[in-house]
Structure 1
Amino acid sequence: MRTETAGVTETLIESAKKEFLEHGFQNSNLRRISSESGVSTGSIYTRFGDKAGLFSAVVKPAADGLMELYLESITAARESGDPAEATSQGNEGTELVLKYIYENFDVFKLIFCHSAGTEYEYYFDELAEIEEKYYREFVKQFSRRENMVSDFFIHVICRTGWSYIYEVVSHDLSYDEAQIFMKSIREFCFAGWGKVLGQNYEDLGL
């Protein structure tokens, strides 16, 4: 019985993922998911509560995994003792995050592009807020300029940083294409941070 239930749940999850990818959350239909999976709509409500609960079941494992990975990356960068080490940790973290996203590509396309009306609609904002908090600390610790970088500058830059990830996902870039693109973005951004903070390019380990 447990095996049968697990199989039904997996089938529902896959059918729901396909429906949400094609129609988005708001325009998706539980009857189509029910028909695709061979499970009654009543069974869907019993297992997941409602359509939002089903969407959460589809994306939550990967979303939680990325959040954990990203927090570990940010912590490692925060605990580094110099800007070059922080940059190195940041580069490594970006590569790990990108790899994880591509290992769960369909789920993150749902979160970034099709989650309006769900609790994951603001997942992107949560990631940007975490990065913003880290960069405030980074600026205070490593700036050599008399005038500190404004919080608004940091806010916009961090929002833009996650927009790059959104763009590679929403445009269906291959993993290799995304890696090349993000490498260029990292070089571009860290060169800019070096100028803003009064750090030499070499001091950032680039």
Structure 2
Amino acid sequence: RGREQTRGIHASNLPDRHHTAHHHPPQTAKGQNVYRLFGAHTNIAALCDAIKLGKGIRDAILLRIIDPSITLEEFSGIAHSNRIDPSPQSTALINRILLEGPRHPSDNDGMRIMSSAEGISHEAWERNDPELHAVAAYLMWLCGDRGTCGLEARAALILDRNTTMAKLVLDLLERERRQIVQAEQF
């Protein structure tokens, strides 16, 4: 079986926007397809394909990796929120998860998140993709892997110097470095 056969979803496999037989709006159907990729044997290559569909879906995937208790409704709200003016519910959920982590923490959260980060990193190197490098970098930073997250962020910026998530990771690393230097002065 070739790699292309195992890739899961692609933009071309997602519901057609103009198809009238769907019971759900096209954006909702697309979110449901991506949401269903998560499970006991999450297909990382398919998640990486979905990350490429846009920033909203990328953010929803990132948050679902961090907090697997996100519901389909919450996932869809983040995935398809208006990037200029997201809903207050989506904004509150994003901020809470990024500040506090999963709603139902477990002992394996770090290992689960890092495993996803490593899978996404592998895909990023294979595909030479800046956005995937940046997502892997952020998840690695979240898990405390400061060396590898910096490498991933720099790889993203070499490929595309406008990759904002990679810039964010490097800013977080620099802020931490300054705090350490400041603490050592006292």
TM-score normalised by structure 2 residue count = 0.31
Bigger relative CO (Cα 8 Å, ≥ 6 apart):
1
Name the structure with the higher helix share. Answer: 1
The structure with more radius of gyration: 1
